Chain A
Amino acid sequence: MELLKQIFVEPFEVMYALPDLLLQTLWEGFVSGTLYSLIALGFVLIFKASGVFNFAQGIMVVFAALTLVGIHAFGVPAFLAVILTLGVMALLAFTVVRVVMKPLVNQPDIILFMSTIGITFILIAGGQLIFGGEPKAMITEELGLPTGASDWEVGGGIVIFQHIDIAAAVIAALLIAGLALFFNKTKTGRALRAVADDHQAALSVGISLEYIWVVVWFAAGVVALTAGILWAAKSDVSFALQVVALKALPVLVLGGFTSIPGAIVGGLIIGFGEKLFDLYWGVPILGGGTESWFAFIIALLFLLYRPEGLFGEKLIERI
């Protein structure tokens, strides 16, 4: 009886009594959700174009952020450092496609997946060799990202909007919208969709597989750099950041591995869900710490009942 009360009554009593906390939770969930969506988008882009689940996406977030901070540490102005970092990510995209992807064309998916694990180790070792393993502060102010906060008084309490969080949500939303437009409305975007549908058919009409792959790996690099800047501003730039990218996995399961809208909706569901669940149900019933597994339970349920996700393509194979 007590448990039923904890599940069905008390959370809503707290929501009613502390409306500011509820609104703060929803805001935090929204900010986290947009960042999860952004990270998930990096996975989706490469999966759509090549059918490869890019295990290296998490370390790409760290590598891009480290490169930016590392270049800036040499006295390069922040915005020039961003451009140079984008150059490094472009070089990385080109190298990955030429050295890893191209020689493995037509190999089974698991081989390509394993190759991205190899890329992960190379980026970890390379990042530590070049930049060292110690944590670094993100150059938030130098990049012109806002600091400070605005308060909104509501229900006798306050909701705090950190300006960096507002900027993160806006930048993530703009980047997602920009990439969605690019891949839906441009010639390269149409070529990408052709490649995603059928490699051989795309090749037969003159689409360069190599060019498309370089474009999507670079786009994933841009997403990684953006996610790295925005997430590191909340903590620091360290190799532990790559673990945050694991949160994209349940997002992908929810939204579907091939759907950009799915990545957005999935990210928001996970963002809102984990914050609300932990605060109102996780702590009172389970003692807290549910943020680390809640998203994966949701993903597991989806795998059981809707394995293609909310927006993914249903895979039907004849045997």
Chain B
Amino acid sequence: MLKKLILGAAALAVAGTVQVTTVSAEDTLYIPSLSYRTGPFAGAGGPISNGFADYFNMLNERDGGIGGAKLVVEECETAYNAQKGVECYEATKGNGALAYNPYSTGITLQLIPKAPVDQIPVLSMGYGLSAAAVGEKFPWTFNYPASYWSQMSSILKYIDANGGVKGKKIGFIYLDVGYGKEPIPLLDKLAPEMGFEWVGFPVGVKEMQNQGATWLNVRKERPDWMIMWGFGAMNPTAIKEAAKIRFPMDKFIGNWWAGAHADLEPVGEAGKGYKASSFSGIGTDFPALQDVIKYVVDAGKSQAKKEDVGKVLYNRGLFNAVIMAEAIRAGQKSSGKVKITGVEMRDGLESFVLDEARLKEIGLEGFTAPITASCKDHEGSGAIFVQQWDGKTWNRISDLIPPMTDVVKPLLEEAADKYVSEQTDWKTQSCG
């Protein structure tokens, strides 16, 4: 009997990787959530999915949804696996999916060619293919509020403003996959222009928690600054190793996937001074967050613990839902319909306005840089800010830092042209 139970549980564990149900109702808007609450990156996936779902639930509870239509968020577990992500996409797209938020560069790359075919947009918020920022070449893909290349240029601007980059050696430690390598073309381009030298330190996925050799190399190379494009277990390990070789923490700056509470809480005091870029506010000191707590968390309708609300990745997921919600409103307005389709959602993603007045109106004043969506620019402002770990939590320490648009934009256009030239039957759009 016990054996049968265990075998049954194992079968359920395997079958449970793709769990979806059929959803269709006149007064609902269906939003699939490709989550990863399991697997090596579950520490990031859980809070993101919680923030994403809780904002929509808050809109349902407080406002009755958007435009009178209730929002149905359905999770499909990908375990951060591209193959499972595609399975989730195929299993849910028929339910009237408005847009996909893959939360994985690997899954995003798989979905980019599918989006125009199925006419469901992909919003890879601050990840995925940098070139997708060029709206004319990628009509169905968006990466608001910033691409990886914009982010790297802003980080270099920050370093330049804090001691200068000219004549300096910058170490770049990165997860040795597509995501980690994404900003390398920008480093190659900017190094001679800004007069710095850069040296790369790749970390294999299998070596995320075994970086001894990597940091011996860092010690040998003696960089002035370290920039990290890490994720999951790679981040705390790298910061602990940096502390071990006594690398100055205030000269170590991560990207927005290397700056979460989950990354630094296992490090604690040893990580004091470490910095990271971000584009979403920290804490619950925003009216919208207070509403989420009131209508969802305190009402027992959230998967998040109350103390985790307001942490970096929870707020990142919430901000993703804000962009989706604003695009839905714009799509409803332009189409004159409450129950919009993927096509109208795409139009909404090209026309929503999240300016300072609107941010204030929705209770997120000062939370992020304003975004004015457009047909041409699928990235938005690209501005980031820098936050710093004080041993216990993150604190914002800089104003918004806009990217080097003059450098980044031509590179994005070049990369977009290259991508399109490698596709067959790729449809671009004209933005007038």
Please give the residue numbers on chain A whose beta carbons come within 8 Å of chain B beta carbons, in ascending order: 14, 18, 21, 24-25, 28, 31-32, 99, 103, 118, 121-122, 124-125, 128, 132-138, 149, 160, 162, 231, 234-241, 243-244, 246-247, 274-275, 278-279, 282-283, 287-293
Contacts and interface: CB of A to CB of B under 8 A. Distances in A.
B266 A292 contact: no
Contacts of B246: 160
Given A21-B220, A125-B9, A240-B232, A291 B210 contact: yes
Interface in B210-255: 210, 212-214, 216-217, 219-220, 232-233, 236-237, 240-241, 244-246
B268 A275 contact: no
A5 B142 CA distance: 49
Top-6 shortest CB links A-B? A133-B42, A292-B204, A236-B266, A289-B202, A235-B237, A240-B40
Nearest to B40: A240
Contacts of B245: 160
Contact of A128 (B42, B213, B240): B42
Interface in B1-28: 2-3, 6, 9-10, 13-14
11 contacts: A21-B216, A121-B14, A122-B13, A125-B13, A133-B45, A234-B237, A241-B209, A246-B206, A278-B216, A283-B220, A290-B213
Contacts, number: 150
B233 A235 contact: yes
B-side binding surface: helix, strand, loop or mixed? helix
Given A32-B210, A125-B13, A292-B207, A162 B233 contact: no
Nearest to B174: A289
B198 to A, nearest CB: 13
B310 interface: no
Contacts of A135: 43, 232-233, 236, 262, 266
Contacts of B176: 289, 292
Contacts of A234: 209, 237, 240-241
Contact of A18 (B2, B47, B220, B268): B220
B205 interface: yes
Most buried by B among A244, A283, A287: A283
A236 B41 CA distance: 12
B203 interface: yes
A291 B201 contact: no
B118 interface: no
B208 interface: yes
A274 B46 CA distance: 34
Contacts of B214: 278, 288, 291
Interface of B: 2-3, 6, 9-10, 13-14, 37-43, 45-47, 176, 200-210, 212-214, 216-217, 219-220, 232-233, 236-237, 240-241, 244-246, 262, 265-266, 268
A235 B217 contact: no
B3 A239 contact: no
A192 to B, nearest CB: 26
B269 to A, nearest CB: 10
Given A231-B209, A238-B43, A275 B216 contact: yes
Contact of A28 (B3, B216, B232, B233): B216
B328 to A, nearest CB: 30
B217 A137 contact: no
Given A236-B236, A240-B40, A274-B213, 7 more contacts: A18-B220, A99-B3, A160-B246, A240-B232, A243-B208, A278-B217, A291-B212
B236 A235 contact: yes
Contacts of B210: 32, 244, 247, 291
A283 B208 CA distance: 18
B209 A287 contact: no
A247 B42 CA distance: 22
Nearest to A98: B2
A122 B13 CA distance: 8
B205 A235 contact: no
Nearest to B2: A99
A163 B41 CA distance: 29
Given A121-B14, A279-B216, A128 B38 contact: yes
Contacts of A136: 266
Contact of A291 (B3, B46, B207, B233): B207
Given A279-B217, A288-B217, A239 B202 contact: no
Contacts of A18: 220
A111 to B, nearest CB: 14
A244 B176 CA distance: 16
Nearest to B246: A160
A297 to B, nearest CB: 14
A291 B244 CA distance: 19
Given A137-B268, A236-B266, A99 B6 contact: yes
Nearest to A134: B43
B233 A25 contact: no
Contact of B233 (A99, A132, A240): A240
A133 B42 CA distance: 5
